[in-house]
Chains A and B, each alone.
Chain A
Amino acid sequence: MNDILITCEELSVAYQDKLALEDITFNVLRGEFWGILGPNGSGKTTLLRTMLGLIEPISGRITLFGRTPAQLGALRDKIGYVPQYARIDFNFPLRVRDMVLLGRSRKMGLGARPTRDDWRAVDQALERVEMSDLAQRQIGRLSGGQRQRALIARALALEPELLLLDEPTAALDIGATEGFYEWVHHMHEQMHMTLILVSHDVGVVSRYVSTVACLNRRLVAHGRPQEVLGSETLEGMYGCDALYFQHGEVPHMVVPTPAHSHHPAHPHP
């Protein structure tokens, strides 16, 4: 069961002349739940986009299911991708069920119409995210959490073996974030998928994942959360020894050991 699903070897990625990722090496095993953590601009999303073949590396290589992203072909159907919430236009005239069906576009074949199997997969995915009753709602009329779950359903409609989530809690408040991770954790245990989740929520994420990877252009550290998240790693990742870091308007407190809970911090002066 412990076979390798993703291999990343000395991977470097650049945007024009700016290095976004440098010399990244790691393996993801089947069934693992990875949390890729790092501050804004650390290359987390770039790493996901490279896995998906949206960006070409300048050196090194990355393989999924033993193939480079360009060679994936039909294996793409085994990968579910949940993009950052802000990339989606929720004013689009589209109902939840139809949006989820779009996740299966490639699998259905060029020009093909949805079959009964396709609709069954869509309805199962909606059931899994507990949104069956909202299937006919226009996507813009969903709450932040529901929108996120609808996007996950779109990825699950493919019945993927590997699920990639890019900042899935960006639209949620702190309370909802906690609940969301709880739910993802539960889903991972039930479905035996390999999960890779990109986030800046160091404190929360580390309590639910099996492996954390701390990224700041380079891979600062990776391993089991309790081994990795010492203050040295965080120092390497954030470039300072502060336990606080700021994302948007909400400052978070970084808790080094996963056994402790995550406290909302006092705002900075």
Chain B
Amino acid sequence: MDILCYPFMQRALLSATLIGTVCAVIGVYVVLRSMAFIGAGVAHASFGGVALGFLLGINPFFTTILFCLATAWGIAFLSEERKVSEDSAVGVFFASTMAFGVLLIGFMKGYQADLFGYLFGNILAVSRFDLISSLIIGAMVLALVWFFFKEFLLLTFDPEMAKVTGLKVKGLNLLMMSLIAVTIVLSIKSVGIVLVSALIVTPAASALLLSDDFKKMMGLAILIGVGSTWIGLLLSVWLNLASGATIVTVATLIFFLCYFSSPERRKLLRNIEQLRSQMQNRL
């Protein structure tokens, strides 16, 4: 337990709690709206933003936020026009923004170890600045979700009805895309560009397997999200493993646990069992 006395470890645990919570909350919408690919696309786009920050010599946090927001809005704009499907729009941005990042790296002199740290993340390297900025932005994301709770729920459950009731659907959609983008940015330092979409999708997908109610799903997703970031972080320190990968592995294990114990599945197995015994009785 001595390890908990180190400031870097305290920062890591705080950061783990924050991103576990925010990713899970946003993940609920991402999962229910089948937007997992958008999450992955925006996450990969952040690579361009990180590289740009390094090249210009400013904190990549700011360039990445702008870059990810622009990508999210670009995807929303292209698919809104209906000439391109949403997943094609994501596909276009996904690769091109990464390519842009790689080109930028070419302009930089020497090996950029830090930049590659962003790919897979290192929660133990979270600085005071990272933590404070993440806390502020994370709080903003949660506050907006709290405020627009029923609007986002209606938009997710029945977008047509949302339009019919006169909600500003376009604006709300753009806001949700922006929240996804910002959530990704505040998580990449800890879990990495490549792995962040798992932290958004997996806890919410696990919670969905066990819930018949929206609020319950969100609560459970937060519990699973924070649980897996804590367990993953402590395991990674103890076993000297990469933190991001350990967190995602723990979340995935929890997902399969939920999958095999979900009420629907248990019911299915029970029904099969009953059928089998009926068949045997008949024989």
Q: Which A residues lie at the B interface, using CB under 8 A?
A: 52-54, 72-73, 76, 79, 81, 83, 87-89, 92-95, 98-99, 101-103, 105-106, 108, 110-111, 113, 138, 140-141, 154
Which residues of B are found within 8 Å of A140, using beta-carbon distances? Answer: 212
Name the interface size band of chain B. 20 to 34
Task: Compute how far the CA of A88 lies from the CA of B157 in the bound complex, rounded to whole angstroms.
Answer: 8
Taking a contact as CB atoms under 8 Å apart, the answer to whether B151 and A111 are in contact is yes
B113 at the interface (CB under 8 A from A): no
**Known A92-B32, A93-B214, A110-B151: A105·B165 in contact at CB below 8 Å:** yes
Taking a contact as CB atoms under 8 Å apart, the answer to whether A52 and B208 are in contact is no
Interface string of B147-189 (1 = CB under 8 A from A): 1101101100110111111110000000000000000000000
Taking a contact as CB atoms under 8 Å apart, the answer to whether B213 and A105 are in contact is no
**Known A98-B213, A98-B214, A110-B151: A92·B157 in contact at CB below 8 Å:** yes
Taking a contact as CB atoms under 8 Å apart, the answer to whether A54 and B158 are in contact is no
Closest chain A residue to B146, Cβ basis: A111
Which residues of A are found within 8 Å of B154, using beta-carbon distances? Answer: 102, 105
A52, A102, A141: which contacts B157 (Cβ < 8 A)?
A102
Which residues of B are found within 8 Å of A154, using beta-carbon distances? Answer: 161
**Known A83-B161, A94-B157: A106·B213 in contact at CB below 8 Å:** no
Which residues of B are found within 8 Å of A93, using beta-carbon distances? Answer: 32, 208, 211-214, 216-217
Which residues of A are found within 8 Å of B162, using beta-carbon distances? Answer: 105
Q: Could you write out 28 A-B pairs with CB less than 8 Å apart?
A: A53-B164, A54-B160, A54-B163, A72-B166, A76-B165, A76-B166, A81-B164, A83-B158, A88-B158, A89-B157, A92-B214, A93-B208, A93-B212, A93-B217, A94-B213, A94-B214, A98-B213, A98-B214, A102-B157, A102-B158, A105-B150, A105-B151, A110-B151, A111-B147, A111-B151, A113-B150, A138-B213, A154-B161
Interface string of B205-223 (1 = CB under 8 A from A): 0001001111011000000
Which residues of B are found within 8 Å of A52, using beta-carbon distances? Answer: 164
Q: How many A-B residue pairs have CB under 8 A?
A: 69
A53, A92, A102, A138: which contacts B150 (Cβ < 8 A)?
A102
Which residues of B are found within 8 Å of A73, using beta-carbon distances? Answer: 166
Taking a contact as CB atoms under 8 Å apart, the answer to whether A81 and B166 are in contact is no
Shortest distance in angstroms between A44's beta carbon and chain B's nearest beta carbon?
16
Task: Compute how far the CA of A99 lies from the CA of B213 in the bound complex, rounded to whole angstroms.
Answer: 10
**Known A102-B153, A106-B167, A111-B147: A87·B160 in contact at CB below 8 Å:** yes
